[in-house]
A and B are shown apart, each in its own frame.
Chain A
Amino acid sequence: MFNLLKAETYRLLKGKTFYITLACIIGYLLLIVLTKSVGVVGINTAAISEMLDTMVWSGFEVSKYLIRSMNLLQYFFLPIIVVVMGTDFTYATCKNTIGKGISRTYYYLTKLLIVFIICIFYSFVYIGVGTLIATILYGFHGTITAQYLKELVQPYVLQMLIMFVLVSIAAAILFISKKPTACSIGYLIVPLIIQIVIAIISANNMELGSTLLKYEVLSAMNYIAYGIMEYSLSHYLFISLAYIAITSFLGMYLFNKIDLT
């Protein structure tokens, strides 16, 4: 696993996608910190709007805001998914690796792990660089306490896990279809489809809709970021991990069965 990990890192650092995505993230950070413009990707509630309206511009507050708004990073993850996993199918380079006796399970898991690592790296850049810029411009104005760290770590972990659910779904689509386009479309529309289906079900059967919502984490990401959690922390953790495990197992199982033509 370590060999393929090293190789993929080498390739990524030799290409442009990694740097362009990084530049876009930093550019976006500069934009929000310099112009003091904040917003929310997804559903905005009155509670969230109030929090944003009363936001004080300092490194301390910006770090919390960035954690809460980090779900927009999912759009920056897509090019990395396509480059790390999709390129091998677009240019048929997977046959060089698979044909060398590297097991498909190992190959699948390594690729997934690489994307996860880069996603974590980007999230650190997003929060770290953003906080640093805000601190330089406006000062930190806060004390790092256990409560402050909890406010950062809990929504961070939960949101990252939910974004990993999305990455795992995209990976499964890609490895089964061998088509980066299908993966990209799936990555963007699967959460929407799930929400629409649940909304339709809820309209006809409120009880069933609520039950489904309990086991659907993608639409909950925005609320979780602001600490508005309908269920316990462990519930979201368990559901997210279960999604990652199930989609990855399914993806690996089917990838092991398909012909690489």
Chain B
Amino acid sequence: MNNQDYVIETIQLTKTYKTQNAIDHVSMHIKKGDIYGLIGKNGAGKTTLIKMITGLIEPTNGEVKVFGSSNKKEHLNQLRRVGSVVETPAAFPNLSAIDNLRYYCKSFGISDTSVAERTLKKVGLSDAGKKKFKNFSLGMKQRLGIAIALLSQPDFLILDEPINGLDPIGIIDFRELLVTLNKEENITILISSHILSELYHVATCFGFINDGKVIQEVSKTEFDELCNEFIAVTLNDVESAAVVLQNRYPDISLKVIDQKTLRIFNHLSEAEDINYDLNHNQIKVSSIVKQGADLEIYFKELVGGEHHV
């Protein structure tokens, strides 16, 4: 892929605090038009990574390219095309939603006075009236944060844990907003979240981050292929079972999950035969069922360190 097609590209990006690597040689790629779901546990380095992209934190080593920027000055210039909500949404507590937006319109040099009202409507905060930001619910704060990020009509939007605090209706509205922004306004989006089921609904590709390292980047199509159905077998001796099955089915694709569980990704229609073969070799099978992995299971296994046989 041409480097110009990447909205964000990080090259061996590293952030070290004293002796600890908060971000460890991360090379991440976000293509134009993507909704990139950044998935990681608390403290995995998601926010630090986002802060380095937005210039809030200086990397210890490595490089961040925003729209192909090649130096710090260009990075700053290209950030004008980026809207971001990093950590909690920030606004002036004693100002109303519209006054906050007007402030940022002036800051960003937006002279069209109707932009603030239109953006407020877009995020569903038209009815906020004169209510001050300090009296907003967390959901309203999230919406205003997104509104501030959208004010300058960015080409790239960064949302750090934006679903936190939203009620179920708010989550649905938010999901629709993201899809609209992506499809109709061609905004590329980076979204980090703990709520993986929600992320699965909106993202077109995923980046998995753990202990400061991006351990995998996959498109949604690739992910769906990875998460095809499998046979989950619970038994008493995983290692012997793996040997038996590999001898019996040389092309078998299986994965040991823990000491009592393994998964088989092919021969899905032969569950009965597999059960028979295992029993025949004195391996006690407690259960054998057909399942499909979702984002949560996949992530858990990816960071859990299980090995694929």
Contact = CB atoms under 8 A, between A and B. Distances in A.
A97 interface: yes
B62 interface: no
Given A7-B103, A11-B95, A95-B86, A100 B56 contact: no
Given A93-B90, A99-B86, A259-B51, A10 B106 contact: yes
B7 to A, nearest CB: 15
A7 B107 contact: yes
A91 interface: yes
Contacts of A16: 94
A101 B109 CA distance: 13
B107 A95 contact: no
Size band of the interface chain B makes with A: 20 to 34
A16 B55 CA distance: 32
A1 to B, nearest CB: 11
Interface in A41-92: 87, 91-92
A92 B55 CA distance: 14
Contacts of B108: 3, 100
Interface residues of A, number: 26
Interface in B12-28: none
Interface in B175-234: none
Contacts of B51: 259-261
Given A10-B106, A99-B79, A93 B91 contact: yes
Interface in B70-102: 75-80, 82-84, 86-88, 90-95, 99, 102
A103 B80 CA distance: 11
B58 interface: yes
Given A3-B107, A259-B51, A10 B82 contact: no
29 contacts: A6-B106, A7-B103, A7-B106, A10-B103, A11-B95, A11-B103, A14-B99, A16-B94, A87-B92, A91-B91, A95-B56, A96-B104, A96-B148, A97-B107, A99-B56, A99-B79, A100-B84, A100-B108, A101-B75, A101-B77, A101-B78, A101-B79, A103-B76, A257-B58, A259-B51, A259-B56, A260-B56, A260-B57, A261-B57
